[in-house]
Structure 1
């Protein structure tokens, strides 16, 4: 099994930044539950990604550990916006160039207009290594969390590190 050519620009960009990653290929996974079969073989924090849109059309990518409970109907309070909903598949493809099941912070490389605001879970960022799909759901790429931040900063996206485990009123 080989990664598709669509991942080459991502890995070339990471290499240009001097960021080392480790990628393991596996059967396609579409949900956190399906991905759990890969966790034992891949060290680090395993993550989920939520592509969200607020009532004004502002786009967010919320990235957190796979087991973090996120109350989307309460998250808007923490982010200072009105009502959040999941972004539709066609919007996801238009803005981040990936399909549902392949959402990842690496897809921000496909958002040169910086339409997406990035929300990173504080506990995830406190870990040494985190794991994300490399634009496709047939592989998992491990990256140092400091290197993930450097990648996102290089892309010029607005990034907020938020304690998503805290009660919404605590933020």
Structure 2
């Protein structure tokens, strides 16, 4: 059963709570075990590293880059925090040039705060681009909409979560 993300509207005052709940539902429906931590807001990599150290979180940090497509539309790249965007590779996969959205455009489109973009619970028309490097980590972590929460789960379980999402999905080619 696919999760429907159409109930999440960018203009909703409870947008972050809705995204958070979609993530809880995703774990429940998939049966994927996860951990959750509550903490001060994380909106940048430095705070993310400090909080991870303080809480003893050892999961690999992810990065969700929200991008606009030339001519209209959006996509999101889910990768490891230290990986860089290869815009030429992404263009070859989606067929359009991509660029990082402005904070204002991103907030209007998905409701997430800059620095706390959630890869799950996005509107159905947004294509997810998945970096297969994430499957190789024992655990990966991300922000589930609320910048005051962090979730982690086994990297090997990523496909179990993705299978429940209605979004179009593209996997980057594996590195050699």
TM-score by length of 2: 0.76
Secondary structure of 1:154's match? coil
Q: Select the residue among 102, 124, 134 that pairs with 2:134.
A: 124
Q: 1:5-31 CA deviation, whole Å, 9 max, x = no partner?
A: 542343134213322210112221212
Match runs of 1:14-163 below 5 Å: 14-40=27-53, 41-72=56-87, 74-106=88-120, 109-111=121-123, 114-163=124-173
Question: 45-54 or 85-94, which moves further after superposition?
Answer: 85-94
TM-score by length of 1: 0.78
Secondary structure of 1:98's match? coil
Unaligned runs of 5+ in 2: 1-15
Unaligned runs of 5+ in 1: 167-171
Q: Measure how far apart 1:165 and its partner are.
A: 5.7
Q: Does 1 or 2 have the higher relative contact order (CA < 8 Å, sep 6+)?
A: 2
For 1:23 and 1:160, how far apart are their aligned partners in 2?
A: 27
